[in-house]
Structures are given as C-alpha cells and as structure tokens.
Chains A and B, each alone.
Chain A
C-alpha cells in the first residue's frame, strides 16, 4: 500500500487516482440507475398489461350481464320441469308423492313405489355449479288398461318431467293388469348460498 501511495506521490498521479475513482463511481451509479430504471420499466409493463386485461374484461361486463340474464331466464323456464330443493331425500320423497298422486288420480292401485337408485350429475360441483340429480323410481301397479292409459296421460301432462325407462304389462285375473313402470325423476339441487329468487320449487 505504501508503494502505491509512493507511486502516486512520486509521479503526481493523485488527480489521476481521484479521476479514476470518480469515473468508476459514475459508471457504478450509471449501472445502478440503468438497472433500477429497467426493473421499474418491466414493472410498469407488467402493470399496464394487467390493466389492459382488466379494461378488456370490464368493457364486456354489460355483454356478460345480458348473457347471464338471458341464461337465468332460460334456466327458470327449464327449471319448472324439475323438482328443486336443497335436500336429496326430501326431493326423492316429493317425487314418490307426486307419482302416488298421479296413480291415485288415474284410479290405479299402487302396490309399491320405491326409489332404488339416486345419483346426481353436474359440473363444477365444488365451485357451486348446478347439480342435476336423478332418482330411479320403480312402481308396481294394478288396475285396468283404461286406468293405465289415464296414468300415462297424467304422467305425460305432468309439469315435472319423469323419464320412462321401462314398462311391463301382463294380465291379472280376467280383467285386471299387473303393471311395472320404471321412471326416472330429475331434480335440481340448490346450494345454501344460491340466490333464493332462482328457486322454482
């Protein structure tokens, strides 16, 4: 170190040393400024990109709202054909009661009406999507052919939709019939936080 100081004193290079130090300082400061500026520029571009996405999304807000209103209206119309509620068992019971009512209205004798299988289909269940549940109802009935025809007519007229899976008819005694009908009822399971205005039950 002494030799270095001697060199600079001997050859009067102190100013050179100071100039070099200042130059290095300026270069370092320039690099720092440049780096900071570039980093901030990247940050700005990221923010502007995000802002652009936000603006694009909000620009279509009215379109989305209109589309949702249209779909909600359509869903309400469609939803009338399904049982709607928040509890699977209650809905299953409601379906049995409805079938019982139709059978009684047609004059048939219901020997048994029992749900045998339940399942539900739907997308985004975890995210609060709509679930379309299914209940398979096996019925064993007794009556005449005209009563069966009346039952089928009532079933077709029913506001709630029941899909007919199978029908089996065989004679019983001289004028009677034994009728086995498998029906599939559908229901919409609502979540607790869903807009009550959308319930159709």
Chain B
C-alpha cells in the first residue's frame, strides 16, 4: 500500500486513513482506544505497516508569526521563553514547532502550537498497541508534497472558520482565516497571489484544484513536527548513514595515512640501505676503473711485436751465399720486415737463385765493374 497509515485528530473524532485516503474510517474519540482501533483498522484492511503519522485538524492548531532579530543566538531557546505569550495555551500543556526564514535583518518565525492533552494520550495508546509514531503535524502538512516544491500555491481547508494556507514550495509562508462560507476563487487568487489554489471539495464553477491531487503523492513532512522528542522514533536510517559516512571517511583517512606511513617506511628503509651501500659502490666503481685501466695496459703490451729471430736469418744468409760472393753492407729494417744486402759476385744468377731459399728476394740493382757484378738485393725477413 502506498502512503502508510495516517491519523487525523479532529475536535470530537479521529480519522484513520490508509494509502493517502484510499481507506478512511472515522471514529469517535471518546468511545474507543485509538491503538486498538488502528489495530482493528489494519486487520480489517490487511495492512501490515507499524508506523503512523498523526495530523491535528487545523481548528486544534494555533499558528502565529513573529520576527526575531537576526543576531538571535538560539531561536529555539528564545521561543521557549516567549511561548507562554505567543500561544494561548498553558506552558505545561503545549506542543509546538517552528520554522524560521531569514528576511532582511531578522528572522520570520512561524510557530505552530497545540494543546498536548488532546494528543499525548492518543500517542500513548498507539505506542501501547505497538505502533511507531513518526510525527505529529498540522493537518495542512498532509498536503505538502515534493511536486509543488518550487511553486507558490495555496490550500483552502473549509470549516466553521475557513483556513487558507499559502506555501512557498514546501514551506508555509502565510495563513489566513475567513468567516466566509463560500470562498471565491478570484478573490483568493488575488489575496494569495497565486492561481494554484487547492480545495478538498472544489465548488462547482470555481477554478479550484482538487486537494486529492496533492494526496496522490507522499507528504514531505519536513516542517512543524510537534511530537515531543521523548515520543519520537530514532531515525535509524539517518544514524546508519551518519555512521557509514563517518566510518568511510575515517577508513579513507586511515587508509591514506597507512599508505603514507608505508611510503615513509619504504623511503626510510631504502635511504638507510643506500647509505650503507654507497661506500661499497664507490669501492666497486674504483675497482672496475682499475680493472679497465689494467686491461688497457695489458692490451697495449699485447700489441707490442717481439723482436725477429735475427741469428738464424744471418746464419742462413751466410750459409747460402755462393762462393765468389761478398757483402759490403747489411741493412735490416724490422718494421718493414726486409733486409737489404749490398755486395759483389762473379755469378749473379747463382746468387739470386740461392738467396730465394732465405726469403722472398728482389734484385734491386746491379752494375758491372772490374769484372765483377755489384748488386743490391732486398730479402723479406722470415
């Protein structure tokens, strides 16, 4: 069922309502216990909900508006002290609620009040029957829904004394009383400064909208809850949300803190290890440098060529020279790997032929003098 249970307390009766007036039953206040009546109502209609909102008929509610200075430190405290003056009820027998709107340099405070004696006994009956009372509101709050939150609209509740409520969105801004039985739409539209005027039973021929339209949606019930705190149910959802938010934020902060601490720990550990290893690394670098230098030196040494075997060469040359051949000069160039011999011979052909066995031989020059052949021969060193 959409809407839950509602009880409207009137002067001499109470109206039990389920599903936003889809189920309605009116009973006399003097005869029956409200709790038992509601149990029977639920049983009769198969309702299983255990929570109920209570509304006070507007003829039981006193509404007044006062202006308080903007500098007022605690509005609730200030109102409590003036309550005896503000409401026509004894201070010990009063239920009240208020809303405040900042207007210029002051607060416009709307106070709603009712006698507690009319209500508390009924609330206790409901509590005894096992119901949870969510709130106690003026009847006009039944019609305040989210659909008209951003518009100005009015509600007419007829009776011995007609009541006109003007709302700015979801908040009551003005309340008029009228002794007129037949309230004229045009007149009301002018007074209320809005064309959106709702009426529970719109007279034919007038432009009133049906208040049933408002009852189709869930009531906001944000303002004017007069139920004393001792009777209010704890808002577990709110508590749970606050708890979850705090837990999540705390967890987030703790997680972040843990991460940062962990980072700091890693940095400290790494720094300590780096400081410990730095001398060793310097030593290793120096060692590697010396290794490279020593290797370079050994490589240089390795590139040096050894001296050629000159004695075997000279011995071979001496043994190979044919008879009648003589040397004047011997030049050995180790870098070029050559030996140049100068001399004379009586048989140049035999000489060059035999020198081939010593090494690769090239006859560079010959000349003939005094019946001898003077020669210059280049031989490759072995």
Contacts and interface: CB of A to CB of B under 8 A. Distances in A.
A61 B293 contact: no
The majority secondary structure among interface residues of chain B is: helix
Contacts of B329: 168-171
A109 to B, nearest CB: 19
A113 interface: no
A142 B333 CA distance: 19
A193 interface: no
A71 B295 contact: yes
Nearest to B299: A123
Contacts of B169: 11
Given A67-B291, A68-B291, A164-B310, A58 B267 contact: no
Nearest to B104: A9
B292 interface: yes
A123 B310 contact: no
A167 interface: yes
Interface string A48-65: 101100110110110011
A66 to B, nearest CB: 10
A94 to B, nearest CB: 19
Interface in B88-134: 101-102
A108 B311 CA distance: 18
Interface residues on A, range: 35 or more
Interface residues on B, range: 35 or more
Interface in A26-75: 33, 37, 40-41, 43-44, 47-48, 50-51, 54-55, 57-58, 60-61, 64-65, 67-68, 71-72, 74-75
B297 A129 contact: yes
Given A51-B273, A61-B284, A164-B310, A68 B290 contact: yes
Interface in A9-23: 9, 11-12
Given A61-B287, A130-B293, A167 B331 contact: yes
A44 B294 contact: no
Interface of A: 9, 11-12, 33, 37, 40-41, 43-44, 47-48, 50-51, 54-55, 57-58, 60-61, 64-65, 67-68, 71-72, 74-75, 78, 82, 121-124, 127-130, 132, 149, 152, 156, 161-171, 186, 188
23 contacts: A11-B169, A12-B101, A40-B267, A44-B263, A48-B270, A54-B273, A54-B281, A58-B281, A58-B284, A64-B287, A68-B287, A74-B294, A123-B296, A123-B300, A127-B293, A132-B300, A132-B301, A156-B307, A163-B305, A166-B332, A167-B330, A168-B329, A170-B329
Given A51-B273, A165-B334, A170-B328, 8 more contacts: A33-B256, A54-B280, A75-B298, A82-B301, A129-B297, A167-B310, A167-B334, A170-B329
Interface of B: 101-102, 169, 171, 256, 259-260, 263, 266-267, 270-271, 273-274, 277-278, 280-281, 283-285, 287-298, 300-301, 304-305, 307-308, 310-311, 328-335
